[in-house]
Amino acid sequence: MSKQRVVIGMSGGVDSSVAALLLIQQGYDVIGLFMKNWEDDDTDDYCSSRQDLIDAASVADIIGIPLEAINFAVEYKERVFSQFLAEYKAGRTPNPDVLCNAEIKFKAFLDHAIGLGADYIATGHYAQVSEKDGIFQLLKGEDGTKDQSYFLHRLNQAQLSRTLFPIGHLYKRDVRKIARDHGLPNSSKKDSTGICFIGERPFREFLHRYLPHEPGEIQAPDGTVMGKHNGLMYYTIGQRQGLGIGGIRDSDGKPWFVSSKNVARNILTVVQGHDHPALYRPSLTAIDLTWISGQMPHCNWVYAAKTRYRQPDAPCAIGYIGHSKCRIEFAQPQWAVTPGQSVVVYESNVCLGGGVIADDINEKTPGKMFDFPSHSSP
């Protein structure tokens, strides 16, 4: 009986390297695939993929698998980067890693792998897949400090059914130990910074190359002008650093935070103090919804949600849900909910899916908060 073939995305990092090693130990026919997703300004100074490819090739040689390099730069620019720029231009703060996973790593990559005769694809993500009653579920990674299910919430049944996450049950320290024990040269390599096309580049300088900046006023909620901003796209909700108004303090000496962005008037509003009420939202509207099972969650049921990566699970309920949007209500108001970022819904350790946070969070939701029931599953 022939071995099942797995094509694994190898980034040159320790996670995908150990994932490939584990697949070999499990008896799969493994092929490594290095994806180059960015070409503009790809220099040694910032986001060079050259060293990553060298690292991936070194590991492939040591563990004895073939490695193919493929260029997805065109697909990346069309499917991910164009939306990244459009969102920033609209004053929102997008999360391109979410879109990259759905459109490149688990779509373009999957299509290419199937062409190579793959039964499955694999990556070094800290997440897990299980099957229950014919439905594939995305589960959190065992290492709660590294869980990456937030970035994978847009995957569908067809993608999950062909996906393996070999290190999802491991802790990061164990992954590095396995790499050391097997003499992998990247066992101590630092984790990537996330957005591959930005890397270590100065963010403002990078964004300015693609979008014109439009300076405007920084105002307090009462309309008092506090200073000037360089363009709304450079700021995000909850931001404290880089406002240029640090010396403007009242008697209590609290720092200033971005509370909202008015794109139509090109005004950045700031408030004083981390716990200012304007920084908290009891609910949000999400659009561009994706539910992993293909079925919408229940309304008025207790779930948990994250409005940003590494945020603790926040108890919530879905007050309204349709095909195009839903309303998520939290048990406790959430800090710095940011339009353009993803809100991801969980039931225990199962990732149900989520959507993109809409702009309407600037409208305070009056009245009574949702009265949470005592149960948590249908």
Q: Please, are residues 287 and 356 in contact by the beta-carbon 8 Å criterion?
A: yes
- Whether the pLDDT of residue 368 is over 60: the answer is no
Q: Which of 51, 74, 53, 60 is nearest to 7 (CA)?
A: 60
Query: Tokens at residue 96, please?
Result: 């391109």
Are the beta carbons of 85 and 94 closer than 8 angstroms? no
Q: What is the pLDDT of residue 217?
A: 98
d(CA 125, CA 18): 11
Grade residue 38 by pLDDT with cuts at 50, 70 and 90: confident
pLDDT band of residue 243 (cuts 50, 70, 90) is: very high
190 pLDDT more than 80: yes
pTM for this prediction? 0.90
- What's the average model confidence in pLDDT over 184-212? 78
pLDDT value at position 43?
59
**CATH superfamily label, 5-181:** HUPs (3.40.50.620)
- C-alpha distances in Å from residue 234, one per residue of 42, 151, 229, 273, 343: 22, 22, 9, 21, 21
Say which DSSP state 175 is in: H
When mean pLDDT is compared across 28-42, 56-70, 232-246, the lowest value belongs to: 28-42
**Half-sphere exposure at residue 103, Cβ-oriented, CA atoms within 13 angstroms:** 19
Q: Quick check: 374 pLDDT over 60?
A: no
Among residues 68, 49, 45, 47, the alpha carbon closest in space to that of 57 is found at: 68
Confidence at 364, pLDDT banded by 50, 70, 90: very low
- Choosing from 196, 316, 326, 351, the catalytic residue is 196
d(C-alpha 169, C-alpha 142), whole Å = 5
Question: Strands 135-140 and 350-357: what pairing?
Answer: antiparallel
The residue ranges of DSSP E strands in the chain, in sequence order, are 5-9, 29-36, 67-71, 120-122, 127-132, 135-140, 163-164, 216-219, 225-229, 256-262, 267-272, 280-291, 303-306, 314-321, 325-335, 342-347, 350-357
Mean of the per-residue pLDDT values for the chain?
90
Chain centroid to Cα 351, Å, comes to: 13
Token code pair at residue 357:
């946070």
Question: What share of the chain has pLDDT > 70, as a percent?
Answer: 88
Active site residue 100: yes
* Residue 299 appears among annotated catalytic residues: no
Which is the CATH superfamily of the domain at 213-274? Adenine nucleotide alpha hydrolases-like domains (2.30.30.280)
Among residues 366, 355, 372, 374, which one has the least CA distance to residue 299? 372
Note the pLDDT tens digit of each residue in 291-339.
999 999 999 999 999 999 989 999 999 999 999 999 999 999 999 999 9
Q: Is 373's pLDDT higher than 70?
A: no
Lowest-pLDDT range, 5-19, 138-152, 200-214, 218-232?
A: 200-214
Q: What residue spans define the domains of the chain?
A: 5-181, 213-274, 279-362
Predicted local distance difference test score (pLDDT) of residue 50: 83
> In this predicted structure, what is the pLDDT of residue 372?
45
Please answer whether residues 364 and 265 qualify as being in contact, where contact means their C-beta atoms are separated by less than 8 angstroms. Answer: no
Q: Which two tokens stand for residue 46?
A: 């910032």
User: Is the distance from CB of 290 to CB of 354 less than 8 angstroms?
Assistant: yes
41 Rama class: left (phi>0) / alpha (psi -120 to 50) / beta: left
29: β partners? 5
Tens of pLDDT along 112-134?
999 999 999 999 999 999 999 99
What's residue 253's pLDDT? 80
Which CATH class, in words, describes the domain spanning 279-362? mainly beta
Residue 23 Cα to chain centre, angstroms? 25
Within a 10 A sphere around the Cβ of 238, how many other Cβ atoms?
A: 16
Helix (H, G, I), strand (E, B) or coil at 284: strand
Residue 260 has what pLDDT?
Answer: 97
Q: pLDDT per residue over 271-294, tens digit each?
A: 999 999 999 999 999 999 999 999
Handedness of CA 95, 96, 97, 103 (dihedral sign): positive
Residue 376, pLDDT above cutoff 50: no
Select which of 47, 100, 326, 351 is catalytic. Answer: 100
Fill in the DSSP letter of residue 310: T
Radius of gyration, CA atoms only, the chain: 22
Quick one: pLDDT at residue 21? 98
Question: Residues 269, 260: contact at Cβ < 8 Å?
Answer: yes
User: Facing residues of 138 across strands?
Assistant: 129, 351
Q: Are 273 and 353 in contact (CB under 8 A)?
A: no
Span 201-230, average pLDDT: 90
What pLDDT, on the 0 to 100 scale, is given for residue 49?
A: 75
